[in-house]
Each structure stands twice: as C-alpha cells, then as structure tokens.
Amino acid sequence: MHPELEITPQTALIDVPRRIALRGLPPGQRVTLQSRTVRGPQVQWTSEASFIADAEGCVDLTRDAPVAGSYSGVSAMGLVWSQTKADANASAEPFAAEPAAALLTEVRALLSDDGPVLTARFVQQLAAEGVTRREVRDEGLSAVLFTPATPGPHPVVMVLNGSGGGINEPRAALYASRGYAALAVGYFKCPGRSDYISDTHLEYFETALHWIHRELQPRDGFVALSGQSRGGELVLLLGSLFPELVKAVIGYVPGAVVHCAQNACDPATGREGPAWIFRGQPVPHVWSGNRTATWAPWDDGPEPRRHTAAILTALQDPEAVERARIRVERIDGPLLLLSATDDGSWPSSLYGRMVKEHLAAHGHPYPVEHHDWEGGGHAILFPYVPTTHLVYAHPVSKRLSTTGGTPAINAQANEESWAAVQAFLARATAAHAARTHVRAERCG
C-alpha cells in the first residue's frame, strides 16, 4: 500500500474542523507535516509538526499529538492555529485581502529526507454557496449586507468591529452562512466615515437599526447585535439606548463602562476625548473626572505593553465607574458575554462579571451567559485561524503591545466561542418567536 495524505472535508466553511490523516506508512515511521496558507500578495503563514505512525501505519491529527513542532497536544486543526507569518513584517490580518474570500491551505507530508512528498489542500470558506453580498450606502451608512441562500425572512445580526475600525465582512459572511442576514456596519476607517473613533454619533447606529427593520423585515422582528472589543462596548451601549430595536446582544471581549477615544482617537481631541456622542452630548466615559486614572502603566510600562494595566487604574474610582457604567439593565433581551482572564487590551473578564452581576442585581428577566477563558487573551475571533500573533506594534504609538493569552488557549476560545454564539442565537430566536406569537394570539 502506498502512503496517502487525506484531508476531509476538502472544501467547507471555516468553522468546520478538518480530518488530516496519513495511512500506508511503515509502523513507527516519523513523518513531518507542513502547512502553508497564502493571504494576499506574498503574505504567507506556515507551520510544521512531526508525528509517529501507529502500528497500522496511520497518523490522524484528530487523535495524535505531535512529537515536535509548532504546537503540542492533540488538536485536529493545530497545523492552522499554530501558523506563523513567514515574513515578520507582513500583515497580521488572518484573512485574505479580498473581503470574505475563501482561504486555501496546502499541507505537505515529508516522509524522509530524500523520500516522496505528499501534498493535499483544503479550502476554508467564509461565505456558503448562495450567500449574497451587497454594499449598503443608504442614508449615509457605510455597510455590507450578507444574505443567506435560504428563503427569508431571516433573523438579523448587526456586526460591529473594534478599535481597528473598518467593516467586519468575514464575520457577517459567516453569520449569513449559518442562516442570519448580517449587516456589517463600519463607523470609522471605512468609506465616507472618519479615520478616528472620536465623536462618533450614536444616531448613526440608530439609523442602521431602523434601516434593518424597514428594509430587511427581520423574522419575528428579531435583531441581534454582535461586536468585539470597542464594538463589544458599543453593542451593550446600543442595546441599552435602543431596546425597542434590539432583542439580543453578543459582546466579544466587551467593556462594562464607556471608554474615551483611547488609542483610536483623533489627535486633535486626544485619547481622553469622547468616543461617543448621543443627542448632541458626549456620553460620559470612565476617564472623565477620574481621580485615580493614569496612563503611566501604558506609557511607561515594559514592552510588550498591556493596555489593561492603565484601564485598571481608572476602575479604582467607584464614582467615575458609576457615571460611565453602561445601563445594561435596559437591554430588552438575552446577553452573551465572551471574555478571557489574560486580556492585555482591557479587563474583559472583569467587565463580563460586572455586567452579569449588575443584571442579576436588577432582576434581568432574560438569560445572561458569560464564557470566560482562563489564560486567554483579547483576540477571541474566528475558529481555525492563526492565533500566534500576540505582540504587535500599536498603530498610533508604535510601541509593542500584547493582546495576551497563549496560542493554544486563544485557539480554544476561538472554537468554543463560535459554538456558544450559534447555540445562543438559536435559543434567543426561538424564545423571541415564542413570545411574539403569544402576544399576537392575545391581541388576535
């Protein structure tokens, strides 16, 4: 029997784990597997791990741990999440240059120094077959709509990015691939919008929500918000301000308080200027009038710097925290909070606990889930993408910063968080539909 390298499924959505297996090897033979994914012009991510064939001459990454290489322990997708950039100066963006484009990974099996090389490939899709993409510029919006291939009406998710700005098309495409119409809304660093988060008017998102209800006619009127980092702060804030328009909130590494513009600020107004404006007034943020806040742990701390260290100084002033606290008790629906204990960007684990405890104290009538990964970092993103890029040069200060965590734990958080999101949305849509039908029968 000749050696064979097989990857199944070869083409599937990015959230589907693959079975990478070898058979037909001499029992006990050592084999090295190498992976390579190209993400745009000359941006390559690579990994390598060595395995020992079992008594039947097989290696199966769903059950076998490598004896050496870029990751340890059993992990079906370890060759993917342990990838590192071939060029340290290249972009760390985990997706291709074209928004929502599929990723192609090549796996090579080296059987010996001078023996044959086996090759196989697999494709990670962000958009399922039949999902459609449409740019939305109505009423001043800078957004992209992804619509499922299945007949509507669909429940809707509005997707918001964090302090990197831009439009999160990959996440919206994946939501649509799983049955939700998804509107990815950009609010800075995108067409027609400011380059900075400073002075972002929250009425802009109110316009987007009204557009969703009017143009998309969500199934049972269900609209969820999904945001990460500053977007995670933002979705809690929007849910509290527009409860009649929002029926569930998903916060990836969210904030429990309103923050100032911080490192995504307009230099003209500075990092302590407001990020959010509502009805013509700045939304109170935790740095305003704060008696304990100092940037010193960030400005003067050892590299790689941890932004969390500065944020924690601001949280020592209880009066400032209360002024800036997001009134999450006003949210009219369930919440899902996803955080990690080694978050280097801000204390998302603490924030998740603060939100959950405050809702419990107010008798929030809907389910509140908080998933908190011990030892994980700020970059809880997508399942089955590289998680090795923990240290980066901050785009404003250019100082080395860390998002925290370890590649293995961050990969676990990526996988488990997406499973939690899908389960949460399934429960939330079903519960909302049941409530809607009961109300309709009472009025009928």
The C-alpha atoms of residue 28 and residue 58 are separated, in whole angstroms, by 9
Residue 393 φ/ψ, nearest 5 degrees? -85, 120
Alpha helices for 42-196 (secondary structure H): 78-81, 169-177
* 105 and 246 fall within a common domain: no
Output the pLDDT for position 184. Answer: 98
* 273 and 158 fall within a common domain: yes
Q: Which of 125, 140, 174 is the last residue of a domain?
A: 125
* 201 and 117 fall within a common domain: no
CB 7 within 8 A of CB 20: yes
* 404 and 426 fall within a common domain: yes
Output the pLDDT for position 80. Answer: 98
* 138 and 90 fall within a common domain: no
pLDDT in tens, 230-275: 999 999 999 999 999 999 999 999 999 999 999 999 999 999 999 9
Q: Answer yes or no: is pLDDT of 88 > 80.
A: no
* 98 and 48 fall within a common domain: yes
CB 226 within 8 A of CB 294: no
Output the pLDDT for position 206. Answer: 98
The C-alpha atoms of residue 143 and residue 125 are separated, in whole angstroms, by 21
pLDDT in tens, 105-122: 999 999 987 778 999 999
* 74 and 164 fall within a common domain: no
> Tell me, what CATH number does 208's domain have?
3.40.50.1820
pLDDT in tens, 31-71: 999 999 987 766 799 999 999 999 999 999 999 999 999 99
The residue segments making up the domain with residue 99 are 4-125
> Tell me, what CATH number does 17's domain have?
2.60.40.2240
For the sheet with 132-136, list strands across it. Answer: 132-136, 143-147, 181-185, 156-160, 223-228, 248-252, 335-340, 368-373
pTM, whole model, 2 decimals? 0.95
* 216 and 140 fall within a common domain: yes
- For residue 372, the tally of other CB atoms under 10 A from its CB is 18
The C-alpha atoms of residue 66 and residue 48 are separated, in whole angstroms, by 10
* 139 and 86 fall within a common domain: no
* 381 and 332 fall within a common domain: yes
Q: Which of 125, 155, 174 is the last residue of a domain?
A: 125
Instruction: Indicate the average pLDDT of the chain.
Output: 94
Domains held by the chain: number: 2
* 308 and 415 fall within a common domain: yes
Output the pLDDT for position 397. Answer: 58
* 103 and 156 fall within a common domain: no
Q: Which of 100, 125, 150 is the last residue of a domain?
A: 125
The mean pLDDT value for 200-221 works out to 98
The mean pLDDT value for 312-331 works out to 98
Q: Answer yes or no: is pLDDT of 393 > 80.
A: no
